[in-house]
Structure 1
């Protein structure tokens, strides 16, 4: 029985968090839009009007959906990553695997990101304990494969790069090289894109927020504090976050019993320190975003807190018998309704994509005058699924609490003006091949189909083959 219980415990933990992903259908909630079929379009591979925020994720889903529904891959990755978190917690634990596994799988960071629709960021956070555990043990191939999974999203790639490099023993330089290579699908488009010019409101809107009874610093310390106050389990808004301070106390008590804690401590200091510093000094972040391409990735500075997860997991994994029950209880009591709150992620009746319209567009860039990239669904605003299926002129406008944070893209504004003036020649010059109103093509031009920059994402998708092959070659040479 002692050999079986960790597996049973892992299955329970994973099921409590990922149960919505076991249900059939397409996913649509806030920033999560996963239709079954992604288009082979420039936007899914890092090109288009907006920064490359969803690569290589969307490109990988586009490639996968050529053979099977994209939602299948999302289900497999989410559930598999949660399982890896449980395994990472077990490996990082010294004497108390139960609380370590619980914190690795069920923590405020992961739950809040899922409620925001950031499923691939949650995947990255789940992978960090596994990356740290395998890197600390010298298992370079497993660590690199974990970094590959985490790098689905730019945030995950950055977190995996830092985590893998700091915790690698004896192979730090090659790990850094692997991490940078895995980030190329978004680094290269980011460098080629012009820097942002954010307003103070644009930075403040994505700053960490205080949760009830613990303040902003307490929220960050307990791995919470996402910028969107609506993306919280209700319990976190009525004082249950206080139990997170008990978890933090267990972490503090466990530090002195950790074996060789320095790499994990450095990760935690980096995550908490940077997120706190960018919260306290938003002008510094705004200046970086204005002059440094790709630095917009740090606007949501709460994401950096994920770097503290392996440290917290390892620390609670040293709990003595008298504190283990306290630690597990506090982990669940800091958000006792997390599993039911995640029910909003379950597939729901959503605005379907008109396959006939997609076929009519035939890869041409479309202009949807009435669609701005977001749609209303029961209980929230969500990303328009059409942005994943067809090449279109993106607005990119973001409004928070009635204030415009990100203005519409220049191309969208110009397309609106040209359409209002009936200037089809101007639309053709802008590369727009069709105009869609009320779900029907109402005008076309002779604009060519846009080129799809698929090479980087395809190379990323095949990188595990290279990593495993390199490991096999290295073992063969050592013999």
Structure 2
């Protein structure tokens, strides 16, 4: 009962942190920021399952959003997901602290749920990655005992949030779990095989569709520097990574973060946490906690690779395109965040008998005080908005039409800064909002570097769209039924009309204009085989069901309190 109460308290503190961090984003409506795109009435479409020929970056996270949106209003589903990240992060990190004192556990939970990594990834809209991050302490805890009886089943269950997050989240959690298993479990070969098997079976929905896409997996190594960690503190890129920051996108750094005074204070906290962690391990020599430290060190090395040795990462991508998952290096400091959080909990454990007031301050206030700009929707940068009525009108028009054909979106770019969204940059929501296949230019430009479009249909149309000649016949031949202009640029609509002879405007509004192309050819998407994708989903879902079968299993087991010399495999 005491163990359950500790987990409940940590979860409630995490809920409080989520409420404080999200603030205005919890008002009715949708929060749209960079990659965070939720829509009203999400549908299960070909894109949901990676069957459009594009890389399945949103598999299976879009399926979770669609499933929740089927039983809840779409905006409520989004808020539930975002709050769950903070709840899981606080509860999971608290469960790894080898102490029965609530203050020590909560110090770790607060630190893990409220830090630069969470702030920057939240502003970048990467909620799917944060799902895996939130459950990472559970995953590494289970990995420490994966070679034991039932260890594979428990690890697989702990990796489910990362699996929902998709390839990036599972890559981070899988690498950390493998490192912990090899360092902490005996026999090592059994432990490593179980981790690899768990990661592979959970990866099948996106792994199969990604590798079987007819266009193959792009091997673009030119963007290594663009997505490498960058300095957002006075301590350079590597120092910023040590402080759990260093995201590649400077626009997603919290307001005021990196000031020399607060950055130095946060550096001292991180160093003190690492020292406390090292001191505790040196005294107790627990293999599990040695594994956590090894995972943190390995993740830190991967995170720094693009900034320190970009040539090496470019070479790896040239050898095997799959190494491109390492380009966005900062996401691999997540295991280090586990070590820092647990270390802060151990520091508070040491201080409680000696400096009780200061220990309580560290628990409740220190991470929040050093990063106040995460509060209230990151200082108002995360706001709830409502989609314009014209968007729902366009959805009804497209849905009622029985003529086959896809939708082309202009302006020819992936990101938008809608006035109705406060000019905040966001990935175009139309592919998720409309019930047809939507084609847009998904090339990403970072500084002077452009990562080419990965959609083969967009590549085929790129030259024609960028030219100034007539478009109707080209679009008809490529199976385009509608052209949607979803930016408030009247000159763009006026310029497009002469290029679409024979097309008619079926809806016109300041926020969205829809042109209808007459009699298009039936579109053909070079996509992975449907049957193979279906089998992959069946195997993954069956494996998750197996992990929950038999005796009741939870991510945080209800066990007796542990001694200081016996580290938990996942919680206490």
- Using the size of structure 2 for normalisation, the TM-score is 0.73
Contact 1:163 1:267 in 2 (8 A): yes
RMSD: 3.2
Of residues 190, 200, 207, the one that matches 2:228 is: 207
**Contact 1:196-1:289 at 8 Å conserved across structures:** no
Tell me the CA shift for residue 347 of structure 1: 1.5
Say if 2:247 is the partner of 1:235: no
Does residue 307 of structure 2 align to residue 286 of structure 1?
A: no
Provide closer, same or farther for how the CA distance between residues 410 and 7 of structure 1 changes in structure 2, counting only shifts above 3 A.
Answer: closer
Q: Any idea what SS the aligned residue of 1:439 has?
A: strand
Q: Is the 8 A contact 1:131 1:143 kept in 2?
A: yes
Query: Of residues 196, 200, 220 in structure 2, which corresponds to 1:176?
Result: 196
The reply to whether residue 111 of structure 1 matches residue 116 of structure 2 is no
Partners of 1:20 and 1:145 lie apart in 2 by 33
Determine the structure 1 residue equivalent to 2:35.
31
User: CA 1:7/1:273 → structure 2, altered by over 3 Å: closer, same or farther?
Assistant: closer
Q: 2:452 aligns with which of 407, 416, 420?
A: 407
Q: Does residue 324 of the first structure (1) align with residue 362 of the second (2)?
A: no
Distance change >3 Å, CA 216–CA 358, structure 1 → 2: same
Cα distance between partner residues in 2 of 1:160 and 1:331: 24
Matching residue of 1:344: 381
User: 2:411 is matched with which residue: 342, 367, 370?
Assistant: 370
- Partner of 2:430 in structure 1? 386
Separation in structure 1 between the aligned mates of residue 474 and residue 322 of structure 2, nearest angstrom: 30
Q: Which moved more, 1:92-101 or 1:220-229?
A: 92-101
CA gap 1:155/1:361 in 2 versus in 1, 3 angstroms:
farther
Contact 2:105-2:345 at 8 Å conserved across structures: yes
Once the two structures are overlaid, the 10-residue window that deviates more, 368-377 or 113-122, is 368-377
> What is the CA distance between 1:272 and its match in structure 2?
0.4
- CA 1:77–1:163 in 2, change beyond 3 Å: closer, same or farther? farther
Structure 1 position 104, deviation (Å): 1.7
Residue 517 (structure 2) pairs with residue 442 (structure 1)? yes
Could you tell which deviates more after superposition, 280-289 or 41-50?
41-50
Q: Does 1:469 align with 2:549?
A: yes
Map 1:220-259 → 2, pairs under 5 A: 220-239=241-260, 240-254=262-276, 255-258=278-281, 259=284
Q: Is the 8 A contact 1:110 1:126 kept in 2?
A: no
Task: Select which of 298, 319, 326 maps to 1:270.
Answer: 298
CA deviation string 1:59-102 (max 9, x = no partner): 33334434444444433333223222222222111242132111
1:98 aligns with 2:106: yes
SS in 2 for 1:223: coil
SS at structure 2 position matched to 1:367: strand
Cα shift at 1:154: 1.2
- Find the partner of 1:160 among 164, 169, 173: 173
Unpaired runs of 5+ in structure 1? Answer: 474-479
What's the secondary structure of 1:318's corresponding residue?
Answer: helix
Task: Give the match's secondary structure for 1:235.
Answer: coil
Equivalents in 1 of 2:433, 2:538: separation in Å?
18
How many residues of Structure 1 are paired with residues of Structure 2 in the alignment?
471
- Given that residues 364 and 449 in structure 1 are in contact (C-alpha distance below 8 angstroms), is that contact kept between their aligned partners in structure 2? no
Q: Deviations over 1:178-229 (max 9, x none)?
A: 22111122222332353435364x2222111112322212210011110111
**Alpha-carbon distance between aligned partners in 1 of 2:474 and 2:105, rounded to the nearest angstrom:** 63
CA–CA distance in structure 2, aligned partners of residues 8 and 39 of structure 1: 32
Normalising by the residue count of structure 1, what TM-score does the alignment of the two structures yield?
A: 0.86
CA contact (8 A) 2:51 2:209 kept: yes
CA distance in 1, matches of 2:109, 2:142: 15
Query: SS in structure 2 opposite 1:226?
Result: coil
8 Å CA contact retained: 2:483, 2:514: no
Q: How does 1:43-82 map to 2 (within 5 A)?
A: 43-48=47-52, 50-82=54-86
Q: Give a deviation string over 1:370-407, Cα, whole Å, max 9, x none.
A: 35332113243211110223412231122234x35123
Take 1:26 and 1:337, find their aligned partners in 2: how far apart are those partners? 21
What's the secondary structure of 2:517's corresponding residue? strand
Task: Give the Å deviation of 1:264.
Answer: 0.3
Rate the CA distance shift 1:448–1:276 in 2: closer, same or farther, 3 A. closer
- Gaps of at least 5 residues in structure 2 are 486-512, 554-572
Shift of the alpha carbon at 1:310? Answer: 1.9
Tell me, yes or no, if structure 1 residue 145 matches structure 2 residue 157.
yes
Evaluate the alpha carbon distance shift between residue 104 and residue 330 of structure 1 in structure 2; reply closer, same or farther with a 3 A threshold.
same
Q: What SS does the aligned partner of 1:204 have? A: coil
**3-state SS of paired residue (2:516):** strand
Change (3 A) 1:430 1:219: same
Name the SS for the 2:441 alignment partner.
coil
Quick check: 2:440–2:458 contact (8 Å CA) kept in 1?
Answer: yes
Cα gap change, 1:252 to 1:60, in 2 (>3 Å): closer
Taking structure 1 as reference, are residues 312 and 238 closer, same or farther at Cα in structure 2, changes over 3 Å only?
A: closer
Question: Is 1:243–1:330's contact at 8 Å kept on the other side of the alignment?
Answer: no
**CA distance in structure 2 between the partners assigned to 1:264 and 1:147 by the alignment:** 16
Equivalent-residue separation in structure 1 for 2:315 and 2:481 (angstroms): 37
SS state at 2:549 partner: helix
Query: Are residues 1:198 and 2:220 paired?
Result: yes
